[in-house]
A and B are shown apart, each in its own frame.
Chain A
Amino acid sequence: MKGVFPLEEKLVPVVCPYCGVGCRLYIKSLDGYPRGIEYAKDIPGISNENGKLCPKGNAVLEYLLAKDRLKKPLKATEQGKFVEISWSEAIKEVAERLRAYSKDDPNAMMFFGSARTFNEPNYLIQKLARMLGTNNVDHCARLCHSSTVSGLKAVFGAGAMTNTYKDIEEANVIFIIGHNYAETHPVGFRYVLKAKERGAKVIVADPRFTRTAWFADIFLQHYPGTDIALLNGMMHVIIKENLYDEDFVRRRCVGFDELARTVEKFTPEYVEKITGVPAELIVQAARTFATAGKGVITWAMGLTQHTHGHDNVRLAATLSAICGYQGKEGCGVSPMRGQNNVQGACDLGVLPNVFPGYQAVTDPEKRKFFEEFWGVELSGEVGLTVIEAAHAIEKGKVKAYYVMGENPVISDANTNHVLKALQKLEFMVVQDIVPTPTMEFADIVLPAAAMLENEGSLTNTERRVQWSFQALNPPGEARPDWWIVSEIGKAAGFSGDGARGFRYTSPEDILREINACTPQYRGITPERLKSNLAGIHWPCPSEDHPGTRVLYKERFLTPDGKAHLAAVDYRGPAEVPDEEYPFLLTTIRYVGHYHTLTMTGRSRALVKRWPEPLAEIHPEDAERLGIKTGDWIKIETRRGAYPVRAKVTRTVKKGVIAVPWHWGANVLTNDALDPVSKIPETKACACRIAKISEEEARELMKAVPKVIPEFEVVKG
């Protein structure tokens, strides 16, 4: 037919492949090739009102055209050298190896899902892991929001944003903590500014004077890792001055007395000593927040990436609860997710402790359900998390990795340790769209289709599930993630019918299976998603249910239905500055970059504007060390050294150094873990700094993994 009829330009509605806001846009395509994008102004009710997009959203087509897209399956001949092989060879080899481990010791395998791909392949990867006999399955939410999941679960009974963007827009006060909202999620920040225009007050707590702080009515500049003291201090004032919602606390919360006792000693003066925030500002923030009538707390990695991340989140939730800001419109807690499907990957059980729908693997009844559903015996032992897996390889316990769309070499804390661990693996599969530094260690590489070349459902940070349609053709032999995992599943012997095997013909099949086993997604069918582009907020228990905007209107999801308020005593970061390492290091991000640069690093428009990392340092510190903007410096911690250029700026607090992490700065960070959520403390550690020459910097650079690597490939 081609060539006979003139080709028509199509406008395909998709979801942005970048951050968790989940903006909609149209891809203009001609015969499956990209022609441009168009703003989705005509779809009411989407998360990006009026079709607004941030710079990443505007540049979505660029990374797809990267020259180094993976187009054929590869097999390693030695580390970092590959030959091309066929799909059938690749699938056979992967399936056979996995089968063998599954027979000997299923827990010798570790699976990674991905917050950057659809719900369907994420569901499949955990199903594959579990059917092969292990719960060792996790994804990168571990490194950004696992403390949100565990912390919110402890207080409210489930780990998701309680409300939606609409509620941010309707709030009277918005408390932003550990989150540079304007820079990380510009389109989400739109709702903060709209609230502010209506007269809402904005409170920002951050160690840096960020682009977000610029819009704050009250700015609390605390030291990295002192959030517990700050939140306790605010609650001290609220309780002392009787500003909390007594009725709500009496009816719907437990643990208030203990909370009141614990925060007793956190007087504003005491908190000032720990956090560096003036006492009167703490009082003012507490009063403003508690008396507004409708309030939202929002946070991101500045709050979660700590050894006390779990407690930080519990306190934020507690603060929201005692003010009565739960179960109502215009209120809520609102953790902002980094990647577009962090929420979905968590929902669908890409976590070592739960099946899809947060059903505990340790609960015999839930396990029985899935054993019957999938038709296999399942392990009831909680599996390994990302960081634990790295330690388990060293001990020889984990021997095989299956990594789908992940890049632990750059994203995990303490890179040097990760590198050492990966070297010891017996077998590693990497499934991705472009080469990553993690691929260096792969035995088999499986080329995946990118999000826009493929279709499926995604769940954004406000629990909104949306369908993204296929706009473009994948390059070469790249295949959709769901196809790859289901082929491997079949080849590994799971060829049963329906849910008992992997015989899928489309992502719709898989979503129907998800509907059947995930209570929150029961009514979110492919048909509904395709006809309703704005999507549906889970929980949606049946097909005629409209979805849920506000959670916990009547009761919380805890066993007794009450919010379990947290009483936590102060704990600082695991590593604090001392004589040897006198500075406090924290990591940040730039608006134009995202995750480990796999996608944004291949986008010309973004790289041009944000070409390199700059370490922010306070002018007084810089002067003492003789550092000027543009000088090369070496940042050193107990784990590694990192060369970077300096930017002298008053935006950081004295004694603090801030570096963007996208370019591999995790060689520096601490992998000390939060005991509950197992998140590493990437947001605060002790470091020292020295000015160096450009040659020294180049020398040091060699030890930092290259974010965009080049591999030798022999054509098959």
Chain B
Amino acid sequence: MTDTLPAPATSTHEVEVEGSTRGERIAAGVQRHGALAVLGLIVVIASFAFEFFATLDNARGVAVQSSFLAIVALGMTFVIISGGIDLSVGSVFALGGVLAAYASQWGFLPALALPLVVCGGIGVLNGVLVAKTRMAPFIVTLASLLGVRGLLLAITDEGSTTYLVPKGSAFTELGQGTVYGFGYPVLIALALFAVGAVVLQRTSFGQSVFAIGGSEDAASLMGLPVARIKVLAYTMSGLLAGLAGALSAARLSSGVTILGVGMELDAIAAVVIGGTLLVGGAGSISGTLCGVLLLGVIQNVINQIGTLDSSYQSVVSGGFLIVVVVVQTYLSRTQRLR
């Protein structure tokens, strides 16, 4: 854009503008593709270092393990770009799984419909509370984190009842069936990411999400239906978390109540590592996918090292998160300081 502007009056100014555009372009590039570059680097190094790493079986394993978090993080991306946050997704994920397992006794459709309706409803509730009362999203979704886990305990007799998915049902197939060795959850996650990217980049809804995250007041002055778009974003987050839970129940053949604790933080970490700014207004779906895969590959590599136990995974993830956000902050600061 800057190139097309008329030349400034003084030459010193012009030099400044030129220099900063290049810096800005590099900064934007690093911000957008940083996670992808690091992911590529780790994959290449790990392929040489570990015999088993660069095999199709291992790729399938990483893909399936990552697919549930990926679906949750997809919804989280929309919420975060809109300037909000959704802490309830871990609880909603677990609830979705238990409801799906419970409803699977009635067949395939109920097993999907029940969790989607309930979890979507929780998303609507989050969205309405955030949009209409102007309470901090952090607190609203913190309350639903607690409340939904309470609900989850209530329908499982304080966690003592485990609902099983009937053996051999079509719903089990959804979690365990494969195409070319890749499980349905992986394919569903990929399809959802493709749709999500189109929705974010190519629809007026997606552009409105960016606008609201960038400046809610400005978006409102431009006449965007701010409340409705926020409600939609939180609803998507609830729906996707519920769907991910249902898929995991199909995969595990049962609704596990203790799943999903801390998942909201993994999802936020993946989104942030993927280059989406937590203040809202900027981010990408592809970045989130890279972020999720990066977390998955780190875990996989640590498992392959063998001598390191799994607690190192969170140390590395945490350290990585710090590095990414510090770099991001400095990059966005150079952009602002031009």
Asked if A and B bind, the verdict is no
